[in-house]
């Protein structure tokens, strides 16, 4: 019998993006990258040579996920528990590796069985649809999914459940299945922008305002200097955001245990992990692309800033004293960058007035009459014929206006 009653009809639930508010493969790869990056690099060729199912199996062997550290969708869990309470068989059907799926099923304790990729077959899309039809018959099961890859499965299902769909995915699901129910709604464009701004730490860009300090202190308000300073601000901000993204991706397990960091967009599952690497590359590439428009030495300064920020995020932030020294160095570097862009203004003249080259209109050793030195006698020849000075005193005369100022 192809169509079974609703009470006996099995409920099949996807894992990544459906039961989980994250992607188990991406999480395992990120954790492996944080723990043993060279091991991950050695496994990457398997994605091309051995296929996705084998690649997932090797990643699962290299990095064992703890199911308790993952983020679950409460709506999907509630549906699974309600179906099981009603006497319906509930199955976890996923393209994730079987070891990962088994661990999640044991942790949640709501599934009667698990069907997953086995290192040979990647149970996704049409392969999943074909498997479920062979197992339960056409229209003989309900299916819960979240992505366009699930459309072939919905087409064979009696009832389609779509998790937090956008308008396009919902249209696809309705075109494929006769009955469609939604679990949650996709965030609005404004909400997505707010989440990404939080992930990029846009509020931290304020630190880069220090680039403008030498420009303002030196009264360098000409158009070219201001444009260069604004471009440097944008380049530093984009590079910083790329590091923030990388930091959040590598710190996922720790952030989820933290009382406040667990609310960050990636740690909470509010943003899709699979989109983060692309955005990180865009931010980093954009920052260095802007640097090409500035004087050549700015590229070197930006590279130093990026390496230092990356070093801080990956390790030094957990080391006492070193973290303070690195932060102080990063703040100072921003001032040096602003000084380099403000034609000839040296950073020391901003921090220590009266030394170095002073701003226009200020007292300077290079402006006005040269100073006069006086010294008291006290010269004698050293043993090897070199002159040595003893008791030497200097008087500095800087003529400003009508007369000298004596020290």
Residue 343 maps to which CATH number? 1.10.357.140
**Mean pLDDT, rounded, for 300-316:** 82
What is the Cα–Cα distance from 116 to 93, expressed in whole angstroms?
6
Picking from 135, 155, 183, the residue at the C-terminal end of a domain is 183
Does residue 172 sit in the same domain as residue 197? Answer: no
pLDDT score of 102: 97
What total of structural domains would you count in the chain?
Answer: 2
User: Is a pLDDT exceeding 50 seen at residue 378?
Assistant: no
pLDDT score of 250: 87
Does residue 90 sit in the same domain as residue 221? Answer: no
**Mean pLDDT, rounded, for 268-292:** 92
pLDDT score of 58: 95
Picking from 351, 370, 387, the residue at the C-terminal end of a domain is 351
Does residue 122 sit in the same domain as residue 245? Answer: no
**Mean pLDDT, rounded, for 359-370:** 40
CATH number at residue 44: 3.40.50.1000
Size of the chain, expressed as the number of residues it contains: 407
Identify whether 229 is part of a domain.
yes
Confidence label for 51 from pLDDT (cuts 50, 70 and 90): very high
Picking from 129, 150, 183, the residue at the C-terminal end of a domain is 183
Identify whether 366 is part of a domain.
no
Among the ranges given (44-58, 85-99, 280-294, 391-405), the one the predictor scored with the smallest mean pLDDT: 391-405
What is the Cα–Cα distance from 266 to 254, expressed in whole angstroms?
12
Does residue 169 sit in the same domain as residue 237? Answer: no
What pTM does this model have? 0.76
Task: Give whole-number Cα distances, 220 to 216, 234, 318, in Å.
Answer: 6, 19, 39
Beta bridge partners of 181: 161
Identify whether 238 is part of a domain.
yes
User: Is a pLDDT exceeding 90 seen at residue 220?
Assistant: no
Identify whether 99 is part of a domain.
yes
- Share the mean pLDDT of the chain: 82
What is the Cα–Cα distance from 28 to 80, expressed in whole angstroms?
25
Residue span of the structural domain in which 115 resides: 11-183
Q: Is 92 helix (H, G, I), strand (E, B) or coil?
A: strand
Confidence label for 316 from pLDDT (cuts 50, 70 and 90): low
């Amino acid at each position: 019998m192809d169509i079974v009653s609703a009470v006996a009809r099995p409920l099949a639930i996807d894992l990544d993006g459906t039961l989980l508010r994250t992607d188990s493969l991406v999480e395992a790869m990120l954790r492996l990258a944080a723990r043993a990056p060279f091991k991950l690099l050695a496994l990457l060729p398997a994605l091309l040579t051995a296929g996705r199912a084998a690649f997932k199996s090797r990643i699962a062997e290299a990095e064992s996920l703890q199911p308790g550290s993952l983020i679950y969708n409460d709506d999907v869990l509630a549906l699974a528990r309600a179906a099981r309470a009603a006497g319906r068989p509930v199955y976890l059907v996923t393209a994730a590796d079987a070891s990962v799926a088994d661990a999640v099923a044991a942790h949640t304790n709501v599934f009667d069985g698990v069907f997953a990729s086995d290192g040979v077959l990647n149970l996704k899309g049409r392969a999943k649809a074909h498997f479920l039809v062979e197992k339960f018959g056409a229209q003989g099961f309900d299916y819960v999914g979240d992505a366009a890859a699930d459309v072939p499965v919905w087409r064979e299902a009696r009832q389609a459940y779509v998790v937090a769909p956008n308008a396009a995915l919902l249209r696809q699901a309705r075109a494929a299945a006769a009955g469609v129910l939604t679990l949650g709604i996709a965030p609005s464009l404004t909400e997505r922008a707010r989440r990404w701004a939080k992930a990029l730490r846009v509020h931290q860009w304020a630190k880069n305002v220090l680039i403008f300090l030498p420009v303002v202190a030196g009264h360098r308000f000409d158009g070219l200097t201001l444009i260069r300073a604004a471009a440097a601000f944008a380049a530093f901000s984009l590079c910083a955001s790329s590091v923030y993204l990388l930091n959040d991706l590598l710190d996922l397990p720790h952030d989820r245990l933290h009382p406040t960091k667990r609310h960050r967009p990636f740690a909470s599952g509010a943003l899709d992990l699979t989109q983060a690497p692309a955005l990180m590359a865009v931010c980093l590439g954009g920052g260095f692309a802007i640097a090409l428009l500035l004087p050549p030495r700015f590229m070197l300064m930006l590279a130093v800033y990026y390496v230092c920020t990356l070093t801080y995020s990956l390790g030094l932030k957990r080391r006492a004293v070193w973290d303070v020294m690195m932060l102080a160095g990063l703040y100072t570097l921003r001032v040096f960058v602003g000084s380099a862009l403000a034609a000839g203004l040296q950073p020391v003249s901003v921090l220590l007035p009266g030394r170095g080259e002073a701003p226009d209109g200020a007292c300077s050793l290079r402006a006005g009459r040269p100073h006069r030195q006086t010294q008291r006698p006290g010269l004698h020849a050293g043993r090897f014929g070199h002159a040595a000075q003893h008791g030497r005193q200097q008087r500095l005369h800087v003529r400003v206006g009508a007369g000298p100022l004596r020290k």
